[in-house]
Structure formats: structure tokens, C-alpha cells
Amino acid sequence: MTQNDAYISIRNVNKFFGSFQAIDDVSIDIHQGEFFSLLGSSGCGKTTLLRMLAGFESPTSGEIYIDGQPMSDVPPHQRPVNMVFQSYAIFPHLNVRDNIAYGLRKQKLPKNKRNELVDEMLELIKLPDYGDRKANQLSGGQRQRIALARALILRPKVLLLDEPLGALDKQLREQMQLELRALQKTVGITFVFVTHDQEEALTLSDRIAVMAEGRDLQVDTPTRLYENPLTREVASFIGTMNFFDGKVTGISDGTADVDVKGIGEVSTTNFGPRLRPGEDVCIAIRPEKLNLTESEPQQMGNKVQGLMDKAAYLGERSHYYVGLDGISHPVAISAQNRQRAEGTPEEKRTVWISWEDNAFVVLEKG
């Protein structure tokens, strides 16, 4: 991936508010038509980064390029971007049509052209019959769609969305996620989407930047972030993960052998380029990549015996916690209940844990 095919290029950007550093040497390339998310917990700098893309804040150092142009001297209204804020600022006293057309008022379009564009937007957001409604007679989800339409009607090359679904309840939020994703594919605009909800980021995004304390920890596809996190920080931020201490005993042919505390010898191809033999590492496995059986799984080469600590039946799946010799925390295992459950396994009973080759990931020391 060259820097040239990046549509938005954030290069070594730092942002200080007084002596407080909100953004710490962030470099991210975003491609045209991408649904790109900034994911991180509260205060990690997501809004600050978005506001710098929009031009409402300037980097203290570093540069932002959009479509090959440096943005440092370009004011917000001249950037090919539009922003949808978390508190969707639509005008309650205007009707839906006038809200959507609001940004067009400077363009002096003939009335019929203007109406045509608004109709197109109403169709797109699936509210074709709502044009004459007052904005304060709409539900939260409908208002959110109006806010989106108002931004989209200006055909920005980039749409910046700051937690646009934050105020919605879970059901509406999930429905809007699907609509937003479909909408983005239809209009082909580059989306930079801010969220602190990992599931939302995984569902929607082509790629995600995981952020913490002003830094970009890892920029990757949802699958790679989940399956191949580079650091413990990223691995524990996305989903649940079991961590173990280990020592690399050898690396050959792209496979690392690691002596894992409580588990034994583990071979895996999932590790970064900086790994060295003899290194002490953190090694990890997702709960659903571990199998749990009461008798020894004869076909599995990778296995260890443990003691059932706790079992929780959740209907569609069960969560188990199994104690292993030499490890203080029980290991989490998640299993789908494909067959009818006949009751949960007894606690304090001996069980077997097994796993497929390459189920473990070796993490870089963060």
C-alpha cells in the first residue's frame, strides 16, 4: 500500500492543548470509498482527530493531506468534508425538507432542482413521505437520518461521523448500522466514523484504527484486529482474550515454538516480525478457540488437562472457566450449544482443553 493511493493521509500528527497531549504522533492512511472507523475509549482523542480532519482544530505538528492537498491552510468550509455530530444538530422548527436542503441555500439552485435533490435524499434515507413533518415530530432514529441526509446532499468527498448512533437504543442502533453501511456503499463516499463501541466498529468498517491515549495502536481490518492483534492492549480491547506468559524456544519456517506457562509447548504462525528465539512473550487465545471435553480428545494433539472452576449456561452458548496448574487465573472458554444441553458440567471436575494448530497468537511486548 503506497501513500499515493491514500485519499486522506494523516502524517505524524501531534496535538497539544496547553501542556496536555491529546494526539501523539498519529499516522493513518484512509482510502477512497473506505468505511474507516476510529475506535477507542472515552478521552483517547477520537473527536480531536476528527475535528482536525474537518479543520475545526489544527495539528500542533504534522500534516493532514486530503486528495493529495496539504490541509494546513485550508479552512473548514473549503475542505471536501462534512461532519455529522453526535448531538445531531437539526432545526426543530424547520420541516424535514428544509432541514435537508439547509446546506444548499448558498448554492442558489433553481427551486425544482433543489426539490429534486431533496426527494432523492428522502428516498435514500427511506423517509419519502416525511418531507413536510416538523423535525420535532420525529423519532431519534429518523432525526439521525435527516442529519445524515443534510450532510450527504452536499456530496462531500468525505463524511466525518462522530458517534452518530450514540443516542439510539440498541435495537434502533443495530438497524441504523445496517442502513448506514448500505448507504455508504450506495453513495460511495469515504466515511470516517468515530465510535467507542467495538461491536459497532467491527460490523461497519472496512478498516479500524484502534486508539488509546492519543496513539494509534493498530490499523487493520476487523478480522485481522480480532484474529491477529499485535499487542496485548489491542487484544484486550477487542473481545475477550486469555493471556499467558511464555518463552520462545525456536522459530523456523514461519512457525514459532513457545513454551507456555500452564499449557506446555505451543506452535503458531501468528506472530510479528520482531519476535526472537529466547524472548519472553505474552501469548494469547480467544475463548471460542478452545474446546472443552470431559474425556481426553484422542484426535487432538494440542491439549491439556484442567479443573472446571465455573460454568455458565447462556442459552445459545456456554461460558466455562477452567483452572490449570501453574496459572493463577482460570482460562475462559466459550462454546456454542449446538446440541441440546442436558445440564451444565459439574464444577471441580477434571476436564480437557484442546485447540487447533495456530489458535494462539504471540503478542509484541507493548
Which residues contact ligand ATP by CB under 6 A? Answer: 17, 20, 22, 40, 42-48, 196
Smallest CA-to-CA distance from 304 within 235, 350, 366 is with 350
Residue nearest to Mg ion as judged by C-beta position? 47
* Binding-site size, Mg ion (CB under 5 A): 1
Instruction: List, in sequence order, the alpha helices (H) in 205-347.
Output: 222-227, 232-237
By C-beta, is 41 or 305 nearer to ligand ATP? 41
- The site partner of 17 among Mg ion, ligand ATP, none (C-beta below 5 to 8 Å per kind) is ligand ATP
d(CA 243, CA 239): 13
- The nearest distance, CB 164 to ligand ATP, in angstroms, is 12
- The nearest distance, CB 162 to Mg ion, in angstroms, is 6
- The site partner of 20 among ligand ATP, Mg ion, none (C-beta below 5 to 8 Å per kind) is ligand ATP
- The site partner of 334 among ligand ATP, Mg ion, none (C-beta below 5 to 8 Å per kind) is none
Looking at residue 326, the DSSP 8-state letter turns out to be: T
Q: Are the C-beta atoms of 160 and 81 separated by less than 8 Å? A: yes
- Count of helix runs (H) and strand runs (E) in the chain: 8, 20
d(CA 9, CA 238): 25
By C-beta, is 86 or 358 nearer to Mg ion? 86
47 binds Mg ion (CB under 5 A): yes
- The site partner of 93 among Mg ion, ligand ATP, none (C-beta below 5 to 8 Å per kind) is none
- The nearest distance, CB 43 to ligand ATP, in angstroms, is 4
Q: Are the C-beta atoms of 320 and 259 separated by less than 8 Å? A: no
Residues in the chain, how many? 366
By C-beta, is 43 or 70 nearer to ligand ATP? 43
- The nearest distance, CB 121 to Mg ion, in angstroms, is 26
By C-beta, is 47 or 177 nearer to Mg ion? 47
By C-beta, is 40 or 306 nearer to ligand ATP? 40
- The nearest distance, CB 243 to ligand ATP, in angstroms, is 25
Three cell numbers written together for 348: 471441580
Three cell numbers written together for 167: 443516542
d(CA 6, CA 88): 29
By C-beta, is 211 or 332 nearer to ligand ATP? 211
Q: Is 227 exposed, middle or buried (0-12, 13-18, 19+ CB in 10 A)?
A: middle
- The nearest distance, CB 342 to Mg ion, in angstroms, is 48
CA atoms within 13 A on the CB side of 93: 0
Contact positions toward Mg ion, by CB under 5 A?
47
